Amino acid sequence: MTLEHLRECPVCGNQSFSNWLTCTDFLVSKNEFTIQSCEQCGFKATNPRPVEAEIGRFYQSEEYISHSDTRKGIISQLYHSVRKITVQQKVKLITSLSPRKGQLLDIGCGSGYFLSASQEAGWKIMGTEPDANTRQQAFERTKVPLKKSIFELEEEQKYDVITMWHVLEHVHELSETLEWIRNHSRQKGYLVIAVPNYQSWDAQHYKAFWAAYDVPRHLYHFAPDVMKTLLKRYGFELKEQRPMLFDAFYVNMLSTKNRDGKPAYLESFWNGIRSNWAAYQNGGNYSSLIYVAQAQ
């Protein structure tokens, strides 16, 4: 395994990091990885991390549902049941932002469920997905030739809405990606990003077992204040943030599995409620957040 170091903070440009937390890759390798914190702005990153050319093997698990699309086991069945609801919520959100239903780009589209639903709702869709097998699944659902990377898309195309549903934390070229997105957003176009929030109740409760650290697949770890600064640096104004309420229950199940070797369903359900209630009472620090930003 070849590792690389993040030398400069993509949020503030600082070059000094300190160790913050050590986590295990419970899904594939069982290796330990260090999460470091920027000493100036507090941004968190898995550092060092596998190089982009070798990160693919850390996704090769049937339990990585967004890629494998498996329906084996209770967790995967629950995931698929909830996804039907959340996909429609996502389509409703982007349509509220841009009712004319113009050009939509979904970066890291996975197996294409959101893109397909958006297409059915009247959007002109395009998507990217680095994994070839997963990209083929998305093509079969949408019949649209999708790309491996945003850097393969038409240079002159502008988008009304660009979405990244639990994708930004996986992107090696974070600065280059956000610059590309700003350059390919229409004037006052929207960027919608969903990522886990390490300031949530469940993150504090499970600590290194918290499933949404998901090292080394998650290269970055976000919180609301840092996300606002990051978006501003790349030409976007944060307009609102919304909770992803179902994520707390799913992440709690995976976290108990990390801790105990098998999920504790009743505990996970109760702690999902506790996490969402704590966020509702104390500033909106939900397990996962949707950030809605507009190009300036």
Query: Across the chain, where does the E strand assignment appear?
Result: 3-4, 17-24, 32-38, 44-46, 49-50, 103-107, 124-128, 159-165, 185-196, 220-221, 236-243, 288-295
Question: Does 60 score more than 80 pLDDT?
Answer: yes
- Say how many residues make up the chain: 296
User: 50-64, 112-126, 130-144, 263-277: which range is least confident on average?
Assistant: 50-64
Q: Tell me how far apart the alpha carbons of residues 95 and 286 are, in angstroms, rounded to a whole number.
A: 23
Question: Does 78 score more than 70 pLDDT?
Answer: no
Question: Does 70 score more than 80 pLDDT?
Answer: no
Longest dimension (CA), the chain: 51
pLDDT digits (tens, 9 = 90+) for 222-276: 999 999 999 999 999 999 999 999 999 999 999 999 999 999 999 999 999 999 9
The one-letter amino acid at 1: M
Q: Which residue has the higher pLDDT, 67 or 289?
A: 289
Of the pLDDT bands very low, low, confident and very high (cuts 50, 70, 90), residue 180 is very high
Kindly report each contact of residues 66-75 with a partner whose C-beta sits within 8 Å and lies 24 or more positions away, as own/partner: 66/110, 66/111, 66/134, 66/166, 67/110, 67/111, 67/131, 67/133, 67/134, 69/111, 69/134, 69/137, 74/263, 74/265, 75/250, 75/253, 75/254, 75/257, 75/263
Minimal CA–CA distance to 293: which of 255, 245, 228, 239? 239
CATH topology of domain 62-295: Rossmann fold (3.40.50)
Question: Does 62 score more than 50 pLDDT?
Answer: yes
Q: Which residue has the higher pLDDT, 34 or 82?
A: 34
149: DSSP letter: S
Q: Which is it for the CA torsion 195, 199, 201, 206, positive or negative? A: positive
pLDDT of residue 68: 45
Q: Where are the domains of the chain?
A: 62-295
Q: Tell me how far apart the alpha carbons of residues 131 and 126 are, in angstroms, rounded to a whole number.
A: 16
Share of the chain above pLDDT 90, in %: 89
